């Protein structure tokens, strides 16, 4: 297969390099485990397979340098997994460095450039020495963090398949919320082999039953290679709200217990057997895989496998090889996303046209529009799911970053990660990479104390950095927290005054002082170390996050640590919004921000000195923000007791009341970037096209809160001047 | 949806989408059929069903013993694959096989 034969290899090469990127990332993640001593023999096998796959493809494209390095690397991996080389921290570091060099060769091949002839020669020599059973010499340049030697790899290989018992009991009200167990069960069945046991003990008689109540409940046994989070995600919108879900991992899916499909590789596989396993893997980077394998090579699935709720066609075909994923160009997905966006607008337009029709006069039209709305939403969610990726790709770089930096800074740090499988739009993930790296660097450099300092204040010498991701209220929340010294507010304030960011004597809350670190110009290159200062100040971190419709909030406790909370939209394309009217203008409020709306009574709307207009709600004072004043809109209702107050919550948990004329209704809106099509406007996050073709601006609740505070200060100063 | 008398059989044609609202209608129709001074079985004709919700399946499930108590039968005829699959996915395959389908 070559260009000489008339094939256009560019498409295949692009696919190969995409796969290489994934394999390198996967290898790095696995090597991290080996480095911290938690790796298993299967991890060694996994790295071997990654390297072998890269080599296999490189050979097909005649990337000779890459093939040569990968071959030596692979041989060293084979020596290690077959017991011919002893694992050690130095060896783990060498493998990590080998992976870096392998990445260099891949990038060089991708960019069509040649690396220096001695590039990676020292690593290559050491890898070759391992094969001969030689010791690993200390590595130059990068210091290795002192750590205990990893335990010998456990003899048994951890299973990739797990068995879960899931109890799912909907409340009676669940069906009325639009959630149907049937859809969730289908989603669950897509995760693996599902056995369904239904409990009908709550079923009443036909005469007694409420046809819209949920009476059935279920217990599922799911055998899957997915983790608990993937299962929890299926019930994300009902768990704890309209259903009770318990997920329990049970025994029964250990490898070798009858499946046969994923028989463990021998822990001390002879070299010949190892390369045989590798050969299969090496051919499997997607392009040249056979459509079907000989039946003899496919171990039969024993009869004891639980019955599936929805058998796949491939399973029914009996042992036929089937692929579970396809590789699709991102542009194609984006075109699909855009088309769905247009469809959402068209559907809104049709809905607008039908406003004058009643169900009685045009039942089929109304039903048809309802169906269209339902299908459009389902289509939109399905398309968005295609772009969604687990943040694991983002988090996987963190362990090494923490290890390398803590070693360099002479600090002891432990990284705890959770929620790695939380999914978010690919673009959001790409935009998050730099800010996240910077925040972790920042936490290590400025947050965590040295072991001596920690000991002096009675803390364990090892600090902890927690990296967590979760879905919350239709957004993804990523938290980077540390148990370090916290923000030194006095120093921050002094610095801010020196730089003219704050006037001397100005009263700021703790939160406002903390947020000063994000102010443009707060950080300067001369004041940040080479660790956290790479030309990316905290203001750039905030800007990157804001660019994708996100927000960053910091919470800090002196002496106890800091917590950076990144709140990001799950998708950049479509959102649920509430259309509000202000003086004839229409704006969209993100539904996820809205807590409640009300028309306050006269005694609820008050004026407080230094705060301005407030709403008293259940004993709480909520600042009122007159949107008509912020945006200079005439003919709007200015009296809160005549208009409506929409109480919204920002990511930091603050509540403010937005004064609007009326609520026009809830609808799904397609987000059109204001930055790309016009220019950034404070208080506005994006725009959308409404059903009648008019443009409506989407309000940025966090920015409105800041604008509201500024307005109060302005009013106060104006009053003082008078 | 409505009940039709077809040569002594009571029949209800299930719509393409049997949603939450249709579940309520279906229950009312079943109660109407049970209230009729008749020994006729009720046949739910399912050849048009593209989608059915859990609520409607619960109604059908509750209907089976109600008709049995009246010495009558509730059956599904010409079920689409989707209709049958929905029962099975909910873990009600046996109910579908034993009580509902006309051979």
Task: Enter the pTM of the model.
Answer: 0.47
Nearest to B1 by CA among B34, B27, B36: B27
Q: Is residue A8 predicted with pLDDT exceeding 70?
A: no
The answer as to whether A384 is a domain residue is: no
Contact at 8 Å (CB) between A150 and A92? yes
Give yes or no for B27 touching A (CB within 8 A).
yes
Contact A657, A647 (CB under 8 A): yes
**A147 within a domain of the structure (yes/no):** no
Confidence of residue A551 (pLDDT cuts 50, 70, 90): confident
Q: Is the pLDDT of residue A441 over 50?
A: yes
- Whether A147 has a pLDDT exceeding 60, the answer reads no
Specify the pLDDT at position A251.
Answer: 63
CB contacts, 8 Å: A212 with chain B: 20, 23-24, 55
Contact B56, B26 (CB under 8 A): yes
pLDDT tens sequence across A59-107:
778 888 888 899 888 888 888 877 777 777 778 888 888 998 999 999 8
* Whether residue A516 sits in one domain with residue A395: yes
Each residue of B7-43: pLDDT tens digit? 778 899 999 999 889 999 999 999 999 888 778 888 9
For residues B48-53, average pLDDT: 90
- Contact check, Cβ <8 Å, B90/A216: yes
Q: Are A42 and A79 part of one and the same domain?
A: yes
Contact A669, A653 (CB under 8 A): no
DSSP state letter for A8: -
Structural domain span for residue A437? 389-523+535-569
Q: Are B54 and A182 an interchain contact pair (Cβ–Cβ within 8 Å)?
A: yes
Nearest chain B CA: its distance from A487 CA (Å) = 53
Mark out the alpha helices in A306-361 (DSSP H runs). 313-317, 330-353
Task: Reduce the DSSP state of residue A566 to 3 states and report it.
Answer: strand
Mean pLDDT of A530-556: 71
Return the higher-pLDDT residue of A565 and A270.
Answer: A565
Q: Count CB-CB contacts under 10 A for residue A351.
A: 17
In 3D space, the residue among A194, A200, A185 whose CA is nearest the CA of residue A164 turns out to be A194
Q: Is A159 helix (H, G, I), strand (E, B) or coil?
A: coil
B58 neighbourhood in chain A, CB within 8 Å: 203, 209, 211, 214-216
pLDDT digits (tens, 9 = 90+) for A210-268: 999 999 999 999 888 888 888 888 888 887 778 888 888 876 544 333 332 223 333 33
Q: Tell how strand B42-45 and strand B9-13 pair up.
A: parallel
A180 touches chain B (CB under 8 A): yes
* A204 at interface of B, judged by CB pairs closer than 8 A: yes
B-chain residues near A200 (CB < 8 A): 61
B83 contact A CB<8A: no
Same domain, A488 and A621: no
Q: What is the DSSP letter of A292?
A: S
End-to-end CA distance of chain B: 24
* Residues A382-430: tens digit of each pLDDT: 887 888 888 887 888 888 888 888 888 888 999 999 888 888 888 788 8
Write down the pLDDT at residue A281. 35
Check residue A136 and give its pLDDT.
62
Averaged pLDDT, A472-496: 85
Among A175, A182, A196, beta carbon nearest to B86? A182
Kindly state whether B16 is in contact with chain A, defined as any CB-CB distance less than 8 angstroms: no
pLDDT of residue A523: 61
Nearest one of A582, A613, A611, A602 to A642, comparing CA atoms? A602
**Can you tell me the mean pLDDT for A503-521?**
79
Q: How many A×B Cβ pairs under 8 Å?
A: 82
CB-based contact, A189 to chain B, within 8 Å:
yes
CB contact B49 to A (< 8 Å): no
Question: Helix A10-35 and helix A89-111: axis angle, to 10°?
Answer: 170
CB-based contact A554:A487 (threshold 8 Å): yes
CB A310 within 8 A of CB A189: yes
Does residue A586 sit in the same domain as residue A617?
A: yes
Which pLDDT value is given to residue A321? 36
Q: What is the four-CA torsion angle of A490, A491, A497, A502, rounded to 10 degrees?
A: -60
Say what percent of chain A tops pLDDT 90: 14
Cβ separation B89–A204 shorter than 8 A: no
Paired residues of B95 in beta bridges: none
Residue ranges per structural domain of chain B: 3-101
Q: In this structure, are A556 and A588 located in the same domain?
A: no
- Closest residue in B to A214 (Cα–Cα): B55
- Which residue of A185, A189, A215 is in closest CB contact with B58? A215
User: What distance lies between CA B20 and its chain's CA centroid?
Assistant: 15
Q: In a 10 Å sphere around its CB, with 0-12 CB exposed, 13-18 middle and 19+ buried, how is residue A545 labelled?
A: buried
The closest of A602, A654, A603 to A625, measured between CA atoms, is A654
Chain A hits for B61, CB-CB cut-off 8 Å, are: 200, 203, 216
The CATH number of the domain where A111 resides is what?
Answer: 1.20.120.160
Any A CB within 8 A of B70 CB: no
Closest among B76, B103, B67 to A206, alpha carbons compared: B67
A409 with A440: CB under 8 angstroms?
A: no
Tell me if chain A has a CB within 8 Å of the CB of B72: no
Q: How far apart are CA A543 and CA A435, in angstroms?
A: 9
Query: Residue A324's pLDDT is what?
Result: 60
A291: which residues sit within 8 A by CB, 6+ positions away?
A321
Contact B90 A204 (CB under 8 A): no
∠ CA(A513), CA(A514), CA(A515), 5° rounding?
A: 90
Q: Which domain CATH number covers A644?
A: 2.30.30.40
Preferred mutation among B51, B55, B61, B99 to probe A, highest tally of A CBs within 10 A = B55
Question: What is the rounded distance in angstroms from the CA atom of residue A371 to the CA atom of residue B12?
Answer: 22
**CATH for A222:** 3.30.70.260
Q: Which residues of A touch B97 (CB under 8 A)?
A: none
Which of A407, A531, A399, A409 has the alpha carbon at shortest distance from A139? A407
| Cα angle: A94, vertex A98, A100; to 5 degrees | 120
* A649 and A673 in a common domain: yes
Domains in chain A, number: 4
Residue A595 scores a pLDDT above 70? yes
Measured distance CA(B75)–CA(A203) in Å, rounded: 19
Q: What is the pLDDT of residue A159?
A: 45
The answer to whether residues A715 and A583 belong to one domain is: yes
Q: Is B24 on the interface with A (CB under 8 A)?
A: yes
**Chain A residues whose beta carbon lies within 8 Å of the beta carbon of residue B24:** 211-212
* pLDDT at residue A134, rounded to an integer: 65
User: In a 10 Å sphere around its CB, with 0-12 CB exposed, 13-18 middle and 19+ buried, how is residue A333 labelled?
Assistant: middle
Spatial neighbors of A121 by CB under 8 A, at least 6 apart, are none
A541 plus A685 within the same structural domain: no
* A656 is a domain residue: yes
Q: Same domain for A562 and A584?
A: no
In angstroms, what CA-CA distances link A178 with A174, A233, A238, B53, B83?
7, 17, 10, 10, 20
Q: What angle do CA A654, A237, A590 make, to 5 degrees?
A: 40
Whether A180 sits inside 8 A of B53 (CB atoms) is yes
pLDDT digits (tens, 9 = 90+) for A489-501: 888 888 888 888 7
- Residue A9 φ then ψ, to 5°: -85, -10
Which chain B residue is nearest to residue A215, measuring alpha carbons?
Answer: B58
Q: Is B54 on the interface with A (CB under 8 A)?
A: yes
The answer to whether residues A416 and A436 belong to one domain is: yes
Stated as kind and residue range, the H or E segment containing A367 is helix A363-387
Read off the pLDDT of residues A311-356 as tens digits, 9 standing for 90 and up. Answer: 333 333 333 434 466 777 778 888 888 888 888 888 888 887 887 8
User: What phi, psi does A534 have (nearest 5°)?
Assistant: -125, 35
Between the ranges A128-132, A212-216, A289-293, where is the mean pLDDT highest? A212-216
What A433-437 contacts at long range (C-beta under 8 Å, 24+ apart), as own/partner pairs, is A433/A394, A433/A397, A434/A536, A434/A541, A434/A544, A435/A536, A435/A540, A435/A541, A435/A544, A435/A545, A435/A552, A435/A566, A436/A394, A436/A398, A436/A478, A436/A480, A436/A566, A437/A397, A437/A401
Helix (H, G, I), strand (E, B) or coil at A194: strand
Beta bridge partners of A467: A417, A480
Residue A553 shares a structural domain with residue A495 = yes
**Dist. CA A624–CA A642, nearest whole Å:** 14
Average pLDDT, chain A: 77
What architecture is domain B3-101?
2-Layer Sandwich (3.30)
Domain annotation covers residue A274: no
* B20–A309 CB contact, under 8 Å: no
The answer to the question of residue A441 being in a domain is yes
CB atoms under 10 Å from CB of A241, counted, come to: 14
Pick the residue of A211, A214, A307, A367 with the most B CBs within 10 A to test the interface with B by mutation: A211
Q: Tell if the CB–CB gap between A196 and B55 is shorter than 8 Å.
A: no
Nearest CA among A377, A376, A385, A375 for reference residue A233: A385
DSSP A225: S
A477 belongs to a structural domain: yes
The band of A294, judged by pLDDT with boundaries at 50, 70 and 90, is: very low
Report yes or no: A419 and A468 within 8 Å, Cβ to Cβ. yes
Is residue A366 included in any domain, yes or no? no
Which residues, 6+ apart, have CB-to-CB distance to A593 below 8 Å? A648, A649, A650, A701
* Banded model confidence at residue A163, pLDDT cuts 50, 70, 90: confident
Contact A212 B34 (CB under 8 A): no
The shortest C-alpha distance from B68 to chain A (Å) reads 12
* Domain-located, residue A649: yes
Among B54, B85, B91, select the one facing A180 at the smallest CB separation. Answer: B54
* Portion 654-683 of A in contact with B at CB < 8 A: none
Taking the Cβ of residue B61 and every Cβ of chain A, the question of whether any pair is shorter than 8 Å is answered with yes
Tokens matching residue B45: 């004709």
Tokens representing residue A212 in the block: 């819209």
CB A664 within 8 A of CB A671: no
Task: Quote the CA–CA distance of A308 and A412 in Å, as a whole number.
Answer: 48
């Amino acid at each position: 297969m070559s260009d000489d034969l008339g094939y256009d290899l560019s498409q295949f090469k692009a696919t190969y390099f995409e796969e290489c990127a994934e394999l390198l990332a996967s290898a790095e993640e696995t090597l991290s485990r080996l480095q911290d001593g938690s790796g298993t023999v299967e991890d060694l096998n996994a790295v071997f397979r990654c390297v072998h796959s890269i080599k296999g493809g490189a050979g097909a494209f005649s990337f000779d340098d890459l093939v040569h390095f990968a071959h030596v690397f692979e041989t060293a991996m084979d020596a290690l997994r077959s017991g011919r080389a002893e694992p050690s921290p130095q060896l783990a570091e060498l493998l990590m460095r080998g992976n870096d060099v392998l990445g260099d060769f891949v990038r060089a091949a991708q960019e069509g450039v040649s690396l220096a002839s001695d590039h990676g020669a020292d690593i290559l020599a050491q890898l070759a020495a391992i094969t001969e059973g030689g010791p690993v010499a200390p590595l130059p340049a990068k210091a290795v963090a002192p750590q205990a030697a990893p335990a010998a790899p456990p003899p048994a290989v951890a299973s990739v398949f797990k068995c879960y018992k899931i109890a799912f009991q909907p409340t009676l009200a669940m069906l009325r919320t639009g959630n149907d167990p049937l859809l969730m069960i289908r989603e669950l069945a897509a995760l693996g082999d599902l056995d369904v046991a239904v409990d009908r003990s709550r079923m009443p008689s036909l005469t007694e039953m409420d046809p819209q109540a949920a009476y059935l409940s279920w217990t599922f046994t799911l055998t899957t290679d997915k983790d608990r989070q993937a299962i929890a995600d299926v019930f994300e919108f009902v768990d704890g709200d309209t259903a009770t879900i318990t997920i329990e991992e049970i025994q029964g899916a250990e490898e070798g217990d009858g499946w046969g499909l994923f028989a463990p590789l021998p822990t001390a596989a002879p070299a010949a057997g190892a390369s045989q396993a590798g050969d299969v893997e090496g051919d499997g980077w997607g392009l040249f895989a056979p459509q079907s394998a000989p039946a003899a090579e496919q171990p039969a699935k024993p009869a004891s496998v639980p019955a599936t709720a929805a058998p796949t066609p491939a399973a029914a075909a009996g042992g036929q090889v089937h692929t579970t994923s396809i590789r699709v160009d991102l542009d194609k997905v984006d075109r699909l996303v855009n088309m769905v966006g247009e469809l959402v607008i068209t559907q809104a337009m049709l809905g607008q046209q039908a406003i004058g029709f009643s169900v009685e006069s045009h039942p089929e039209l109304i039903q048809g529009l309802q169906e269209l709305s339902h299908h459009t939403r389902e289509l939109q969610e399905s398309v968005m799911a295609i772009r969604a990726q687990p943040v694991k790709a983002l988090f996987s770089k963190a362990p090494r970053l923490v290890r390398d930096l803590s070693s360099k800074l002479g600090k002891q740090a432990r990284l705890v990660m959770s929620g790695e499988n939380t999914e978010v739009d690919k673009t959001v993930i790409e935009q998050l990479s730099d800010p996240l790296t910077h925040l972790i660097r920042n936490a290590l450099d400025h947050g965590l104390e040295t072991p001596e300092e920690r000991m002096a204040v009675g803390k364990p010498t090892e600090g902890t950095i927690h990296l967590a991701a979760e879905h919350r209220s239709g957004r993804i929340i990523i938290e980077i927290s540390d148990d370090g010294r916290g923000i030194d507010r006095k120093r921050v304030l002094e610095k801010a005054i020196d730089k003219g960011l704050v006037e001397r004597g100005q009263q700021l809350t703790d939160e406002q002082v903390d947020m000063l670190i994000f102010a443009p110009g707060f950080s300067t290159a001369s004041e940040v170390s080479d660790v956290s200062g790479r030309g990316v100040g905290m203001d750039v971190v905030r800007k990157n996050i804001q660019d994708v419709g996100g927000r960053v909030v910091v919470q800090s406790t002196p002496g106890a640590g800091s917590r950076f909370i990144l709140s990001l939209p799950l998708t950049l394309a479509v959102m649920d919004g509430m259309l509000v009217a202000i003086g004839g203008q229409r704006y969209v409020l993100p539904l996820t921000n809205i807590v409640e709306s009300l028309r306050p009574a006269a005694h609820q709307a008050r004026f407080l000195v230094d705060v301005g207009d407030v709403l008293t709600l259940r004993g709480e004072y909520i600042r009122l923000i007159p949107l008509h004043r912020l945006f200079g809109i005439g003919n709007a209702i200015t009296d809160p007791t005549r208009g409506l107050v929409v109480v919204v919550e920002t990511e930091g948990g603050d509540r403010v009341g937005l004064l609007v004329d009326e609520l026009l209704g809830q609808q799904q809106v397609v987000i059109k970037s204001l930055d790309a099509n016009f220019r950034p406007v404070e208080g506005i996050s994006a725009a959308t096209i409404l059903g009648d073709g008019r443009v409506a601006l989407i309000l940025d609740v966090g920015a409105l809160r800041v604008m509201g505070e500024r307005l109060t200060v302005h009013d106060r100063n104006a009053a003082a001047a008078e | 949806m409505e009940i039709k008398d077809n040569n002594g059989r009571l029949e209800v044609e299930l719509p393409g989408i049997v949603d939450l609202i249709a579940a309520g209608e279906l229950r009312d129709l079943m109660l109407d059929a049970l209230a009729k001074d008749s020994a006729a079985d009720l046949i739910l004709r399912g050849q048009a069903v593209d989608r059915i919700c859990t609520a409607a399946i619960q109604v059908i499930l509750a209907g089976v013993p109600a008709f049995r108590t009246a010495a009558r039968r509730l059956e599904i005829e010409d079920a689409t694959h989707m209709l049958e699959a929905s029962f099975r996915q909910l873990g009600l395959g046996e109910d579908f096989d034993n009580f509902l389908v006309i051979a």
